[in-house]
Structure 1
Amino acid sequence: MAVLPVLTWPDARLSTPCVPVLPTDATRALAQDMLDTMYAAPGRGLAAPQVGHLIRLFVMDVTWKDGPPAPRIFFNPVILSRGTATATGPEGCLSIPGITTDITRATEIHLRWTDAEGRPQEDTLTGFAAICAQHEIDHLDGILTLDRLSPAARARALAAYDAANAP
């Protein structure tokens, strides 16, 4: 397949909510390219808008850096519920390279999506998988980690981003 270029902030497409999409030969091929791109980056999740496609699709593999690959493809994901427990921790983003920001997320979510074969799926994700899925779904909603920060924390993150990405 192919490794795609990853859009970086402040590209406006990263702040654009995405539209639902059906699994087709073309979108399945895109998902495979997204997995190739994610592994090459190297990341653990990648959403379609990060590679310039404004559709509700993301890929994720939260275990491959510590064990065998376990890629997952999510078409039209919807968080049905969030647990009450949260964790605050550093999140990196392939579209905001060179920095991490501390984000608070639910540590358990119940998710519904369509798989690559068009079958409806539901699962409860916990721990890092839940956090990663929420990060990718934020991308589908046009939300970046920077948008979840206080004004002061955002200013610090943007200064760090500028410093990390200066020519």
Structure 2
Amino acid sequence: DIRWIQQRSSRLVHHYRNGVDLGQMEEYKGRTELLRDGLSDGNLDLRITAVTSSDSGSYSCAVQDGDAYAEAVVNLEVSDPFSMIILYWTVALAVIITLLVGSFVVNVFLHRKKVAQSRELKRKDAELVEKAAALERKDAELAEQAAQSKQRDAMLDKHVLKLEEKTDEVEIGI
């Protein structure tokens, strides 16, 4: 004699005697089956199909064979499929939020880096403008010095001509 009993209600879930399935609770009719292939090994597994969250709880299996009696308790936990959907959505939302926050942080980092690089480029550009102005001043100074050198060369050329004329006069007068 094998009896599976729902401990919450102390009502019979499945009753098996002498190879025949007997009475059971109305809520379990057509949903339970004693797996007979393990009976000879002492396995008294009960299969419940179309499981719902109301099936959660403790079940006891009582076996009586003549004067011998044994009992075992099994706890069945059924998770609500709706709560699993919520769990998946929660995980998905957490992943999405993490990705959004991560991308925001990366964007802020890249923006700050870009601003820093822009400042550095402006500083270097200002340095180059200063150096270009200094080079233009030096170029103007050199151009002025070159013009002065040409004037001196021209004056020297005049002096050389005058000296040559005087030298010629002195040689003629000798």
TM-score, normalised to structure 1's length? 0.21
Structure with the higher fraction of residues in helix conformation: 2
By relative contact order (CA 8 Å, sep 6+), the higher-ranking structure is: 1
Per the normalisation by structure 2, the TM-score is: 0.21
**Going by fraction, where is strand more abundant, 1 or 2?**
1
